[in-house]
Amino acid sequence: MQIYRDRQQAGQLLAELLTSYQAQLNTLVLALPRGGVPVGYEVARILQLPLDVFLVRKLGVPRQEELAMGAIAMGDICVFNQDVIQTLHIPQTLIHHEIDRQKQVIAERNQLYRQNRPAPKLNDKTVILVDDGLATGATMRVAVRAIKLQAPKQIIVAVPVAAADSSQSLAHEVDEVISLQIPEPFYGVGKWYKNFNQTTDAEVIDLLNKSIIKHW
């Protein structure tokens, strides 16, 4: 199994599995910020496709922010981890509070990253949805469900590394799941990168500004 130098290298290698989409009309790369953007940038650059972002936020458990009780995507689409909610007896009031908080973050980051550029129209488009890895699949799954509401032609999920169960589960919801490697045991996304430093907002904005921005 390969350890990637960084997200840039992972994106370059991932693009090699996606050459059938190179310069294809009505096709775009959507990256999940923030870590998915450096990967998506390389995929879009090599394939000569437009790059944009699709915002998804984890719904963190109160006082245990790293533990997800669900996720929310642009368009206010939510998925919930009912096992976590029921085990921890999280009340609906706290769930609604966290949803409202993350909706605000999505709105702010959408404005920050796009800088008044319109969101792409996804109707009848081929969407290559990219992240730096697929662990539980919660954020990717909510992104897929939100994107489906815009009636794309097809959705391709592409990641450098994925957990086997998440990849198999997600395959039932999209046209194809492409992963460079599906290690067993998985351990976590960060284990497969030498440099897994957090991507900053400034880096996201810079990569979007350098990418091919065009919408149909």
What's the pLDDT score for residue 136?
83
Quick one: CA torsion of 77, 108, 177, 29, rounded to 10 degrees?
130
What's the pLDDT score for residue 215?
46
Q: 50 and 137: one domain?
A: yes
**Total tally of structural domains belonging to the chain:** 2
What's the pLDDT score for residue 216?
41
**Distance between the two ends of the chain, CA-based, in angstroms?**
39
Residue 1, in any domain of the structure: no
What's the pLDDT score for residue 119?
86
Residues of the chain with pLDDT > 90, as a percent, come to 80
Q: Which domain holds residue 93?
A: 57-113
- Identify the domain boundary among 68, 85, 113: 113
SS (H, E, C) 8-61: HHHHHHHHCCCHHHCCCCCEEEEECCCCHHHHHHHHHHHHCCCEEECCEEEEEE
CA distances from 140 to 88, 133, 169, 195 (A): 24, 10, 11, 22
Q: Which residues of the chain have pLDDT under 50?
A: 215-216
The H or E element containing residue 168 is: helix 164-170
What's the pLDDT score for residue 27?
97
CATH code where residue 45 lies: 3.40.50.2020
Q: What is the pLDDT of residues 13-66, one digit of tens each?
A: 999 999 999 999 999 999 999 999 999 999 999 999 999 999 999 898 888 776
Residue 28, in any domain of the structure: yes
Phi, psi of 166 (to 5 degrees): -70, -40
Residue 216, in any domain of the structure: no
